[in-house]
A and B are shown apart, each in its own frame.
Chain A
Amino acid sequence: MTGLERHLIEAAKQGDSRAFDELFLQQQKYLFNLMYQLCGDIAGADDLTQEAIILAYKKIRDFRYESSFRTWLSRIAINLFRLECRRKPKHYSLCLEKIAVPSHQDNPERVVIKSELQWCILHNLQQHLPNKYREVLVLRDLHHLSYKEISEILEWNVSKTKTRLHRARQMFRQQFINNKCKAFADDYLCICEGILEL
């Protein structure tokens, strides 16, 4: 934790709303993406991010520096995500049309291929990975958190984190192949990145 972050936390704990703003502005993009990758839709991620930040705002006085601020915030958000999954089992629907990719300076074929790949990744994460595997995979491979941070967020020991991460990675790859997404990935790598084989 940097000196500045500690200073902002202390000020936020004393009720300084500008310090709170600054502290959370650094995290909101991370938090929104984390929620999007876990729940799979923008509206749901938007609601969960807002809820998590409101809850963190209310609980900031309880923050005791036992973990990093981001770890603490992630734990709040993931607990909300789990609660939401229990409260409202999801009816899965992910339309290709809703997957927006930047289309400037790109030809239509590439835009479609990029959208298809995004759809495949999200589809496999949401549809074929149970939450416990999705959480660890997203935290490690999309946010590059350490095993220790992940263990603190998910409240597992490090050994369990390692085991589940390994299983999650295997499952993701296996499902990707089983669900015929491999062809989309090969198209993407070949046409968009010019790679014939990894």
Chain B
Amino acid sequence: MHLRGDFRIMNCKEARALFSEFYDRELNQEICDAVKEHLAECQECKEEYKNFRKGLKILKKLRVLEAPRNYMEKTQRH
């Protein structure tokens, strides 16, 4: 990563390695801005990030189940 004016310039490998933390908003402002900047300029990484998010969107469709019983009843007898 190198500096250009006020921005840190990232290459594709660096940007992609940060997708997870970028998605979770865990990056500091400076690095976050650098990832955004890279995504704005690089069509391939933009597409890659879109697919990264798509995978997570699908995963989150997994249904939440109700617990099938009250586990306390058996626990208290032990």
A residues adjacent to B (C-beta < 8 A):
17, 20-21, 24-25, 28-29, 31-33, 36-37, 42, 46, 49-50, 53-54, 57-58, 101, 117-118, 121-122, 137, 140-142, 147, 162, 165-166, 169-170, 172-173, 176, 185, 188, 198
Contacts and interface: CB of A to CB of B under 8 A. Distances in A.
B58 A121 contact: yes
The 7 lowest CB-CB distance pairs between A and B, nearest first, are A173-B55, A166-B20, A32-B67, A121-B62, A21-B72, A53-B71, A29-B67
Nearest to B55: A173
Interface of B: 17, 19-21, 24, 26, 50-72, 74-76, 78
A28 B60 contact: no
A109 to B, nearest CB: 17
A31 B68 CA distance: 12
A140 to B, nearest CB: 8
A24 B71 contact: yes
Given A53-B72, A147-B26, A118 B67 contact: no
A198 B54 contact: yes
A118 B59 contact: no
B18 to A, nearest CB: 8
Given A50-B75, A142-B62, 18 more contacts: A20-B72, A24-B72, A24-B75, A25-B72, A29-B67, A31-B67, A57-B75, A58-B78, A118-B62, A121-B61, A121-B62, A137-B59, A162-B20, A169-B56, A170-B52, A198-B50, A198-B53, A198-B57
A118 B59 CA distance: 9
Nearest to A168: B20
A117 B72 contact: no
Nearest to B62: A121
Nearest to A193: B61
A23 to B, nearest CB: 10
Nearest to A57: B75
B65 A36 contact: yes
A85 B59 CA distance: 23
B66 A29 contact: yes
29 contacts: A20-B75, A20-B76, A24-B71, A24-B72, A25-B72, A33-B65, A46-B68, A50-B75, A53-B71, A53-B72, A54-B74, A57-B76, A118-B62, A118-B63, A121-B59, A121-B61, A122-B62, A137-B59, A141-B56, A141-B60, A166-B19, A169-B52, A173-B52, A173-B54, A173-B56, A188-B61, A198-B50, A198-B53, A198-B57
